[in-house]
């Protein structure tokens, strides 16, 4: 018990935090909390505040008075169409990502071993982290009228199929890079890794003996898949869907580069705050994805998706 009384200030501080370990936790938490609280939540709050202001149509200036008129504007048929279009796109992208991601995740989790497993993981990680813009650009190259898709379709004599696809009423267009199909493909491509990783993580956590137990109890592989593997993988899929859905809702670059220039929430917000200078309406528009995601996160949390993040 030598030196029961600490003499130098640093070890006295150490003693103090040892006795009050809650305070240490608080002291550690404070800087990041302040950052997120002030920089992020503060900004979000400022944005929310803006949505209750309005734009004077004649002067083009923002009227700093509380009003709900901006929200009235939000619910005009044109804007509702934009919201609906975005939500449908996000849902379609999420669904397609889940379907595409599952076999990859399943294979990587259950069958790939050793070096192959590492390769699989890297193969998913690389596109996830590599440049968003570069990937979008790559698809511009692929989907262009004179690009590789047209070329391949011509080579295998399926040009007629491509033309038929592009001739379809809503989803078609002059070329793939100017159609909903193109926008959809690029969205799926860009967000796919966000779906694969949590799904794979959830599948990895299904203990092997669950599957053996199920088989032992007389379930066919198909039944085992449906009754054991799929339910246990669901939290992972839902966690992935948080990303695919949210990212699609808010994206404003992909529809600008690949698409038929019909507005989505993201492009509308971008245009409103930029050229139109209507910050209040832009702010009100961003509340839509926030609300949608809020509800989505609440449901996801209830379904245990947060453990799979």
Partner 1 sequence: MRSEPGASVPLKAAAVGGLLFLHLPLALIFLYAFTTEEKSFQFPPPSLTLHWLSVAWFDRPDIWGPLWLSLKVAVLATLIALILGTLAAAALWRARFFGKDSLSLLFILPIALPGIITGIALRSAFDIMSIPFSTWTIVLGHATFCIVVVYNNALARFRRLSPSMIEASVDLGANGAQTFRHVILPQISSALLAGGMLAFALSFDEVIVTTFTAGQQATLPIWMLNELIRPRQRPVTNVVAMIVIAVTFLPILAAYYLTREGEHTGGSGR
Partner 2 sequence: MPPAVSFQHVSRHFGHVKAVDDVSLDIFEGEFFAMLGPSGSGKTTCLRLIAGFEQPTSGHIEIFGETAEGLPPYRRNVNTVFQDYALFPHMTVGENVAYGLMIKGVARAEREAKALETLAMVKLKGFDQRRPSQLSGGQRQRVALARALVNQPKVLLLDEPLGALDLKLREQMQEELKALQKELGITFVLVTHDQGEALSMANRVAIFNEGKIVQAGPPADVYEHPRSRFVADFVGSSNVLPPEFAAAHGGTHAWTSLRPEKVRLVRAGEALPAGQFGVSGRVASALYQGAITRIAVELNSTRIIAAIPTGMTTIQEGETVALAWDACNLVAMEAA
Chain centroid to CA 188 = 11
- Looking at the Cβ atoms of 221 and 231, the one nearer to partner 1 is 221
Number of C-beta neighbours around residue 110 at 10 A? 15
Q: CA-CA distance, 167 to 169, in Å (whole number)? A: 6
Q: Residue 86: which of 251, 281, 239 has the closest Cα?
A: 251
Number of residues forming the site for partner 2 (CB under 8 A)? 8
Is position 291 an interface residue for partner 1 (rule: CB under 8 A)? no
Using the contact rule CB under 8 A, the part of the chain among 15-23, 145-153, 203-211, 273-281 near partner 2 is 15-23
Is position 134 an interface residue for partner 2 (rule: CB under 8 A)? no
What does 251 bind: partner 1, partner 2, none (CB cut-off 5 to 8 Å by kind)?
A: partner 1
Using the contact rule CB under 8 A, the part of the chain among 2-10, 77-85, 87-95, 255-263 near partner 2 is 2-10
The least CB distance from residue 49 to partner 1, in Å, is 8
The least CB distance from residue 12 to partner 2, in Å, is 11
Q: Where are the alpha helices (DSSP H) in the chain?
A: 9-19, 21-34, 42-50, 69-74, 77-110, 114-129, 132-143, 148-155, 159-166, 180-204, 208-216, 221-224, 230-250, 254-257, 265-271, 279-302
The least CB distance from residue 262 to partner 2, in Å, is 57
Burial string for 175-197 (b: 16+ CB within 10 Å, else e) reads bbbbbbbbbbbbbbbbbbbbbbb
Is position 31 an interface residue for partner 2 (rule: CB under 8 A)? no
| Binding residue for partner 2, selected from 12, 13, 15, 161, defined by CB under 8 A | 15
Q: CA-CA distance, 170 to 137, in Å (whole number)? A: 24
| Binding residue for partner 2, selected from 7, 8, 9, 18, defined by CB under 8 A | 18
- Looking at the Cβ atoms of 4 and 134, the one nearer to partner 2 is 4
Helix-helix angle 148-155:132-143, to 10 degrees: 40
- Looking at the Cβ atoms of 1 and 167, the one nearer to partner 2 is 1
Is position 29 an interface residue for partner 1 (rule: CB under 8 A)? yes
CB 213 within 8 A of CB 240: no
Using the contact rule CB under 8 A, the part of the chain among 74-82, 136-144, 163-171, 229-237 near partner 1 is 136-144
Q: Which residues bind partner 2 (CB under 8 A)?
A: 1-4, 14-15, 18-19
């Amino acid at each position: 018990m030598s030196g029961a009384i600490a003499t130098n200030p640093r070890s006295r501080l150490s003693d103090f935090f040892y006795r009050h370990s809650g305070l240490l936790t608080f002291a550690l938490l404070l800087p990041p909390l302040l950052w997120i609280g002030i920089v992020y939540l503060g900004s979000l709050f400022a944005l929310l505040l803006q949505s209750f202001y309005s734009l004077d149509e004649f002067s083009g200036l923002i009227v700093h008075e509380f009003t709900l008129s901006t929200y009235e504007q939000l619910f005009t048929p044109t804007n509702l169409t934009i919201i609906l279009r975005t939500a449908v796109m996000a849902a379609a992208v999420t669904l397609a990502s889940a379907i595409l991601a599952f076999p990859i995740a399943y294979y990587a989790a259950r069958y790939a071993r050793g070096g192959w497993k590492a390769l699989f993981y890297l193969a998913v990680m690389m596109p996830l982290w590599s440049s968003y813009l570069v990937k979008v650009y790559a698809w511009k190259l692929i989907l262009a009228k004179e690009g590789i898709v047209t070329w391949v379709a011509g080579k295998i004599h399926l040009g007629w199929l491509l033309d038929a696809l592009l001739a379809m009423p809503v989803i078609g267009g002059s070329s793939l890079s100017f159609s909903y199909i193109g926008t959809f493909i690029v969205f799926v491509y860009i967000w796919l890794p966000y779906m694969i990783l949590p799904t794979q993580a959830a599948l990895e956590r299904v203990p092997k003996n669950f599957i053996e137990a199920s088989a032992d109890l007389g379930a066919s592989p198909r039944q085992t898949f449906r009754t054991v593997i799929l339910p246990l993988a669901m939290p992972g899929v839902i966690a992935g869907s948080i990303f695919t859905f949210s990212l699609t809702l808010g994206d404003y670059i992909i529809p600008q580069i690949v698409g038929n220039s019909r507005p989505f929430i993201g492009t509308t917000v971008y245009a409103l705050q930029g050229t139109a200078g209507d910050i209040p309406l832009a702010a009100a528009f961003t509340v839509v994805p926030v609300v949608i995601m809020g509800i989505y996160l609440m449901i996801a949390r209830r379904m245990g998706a947060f453990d799979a993040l």
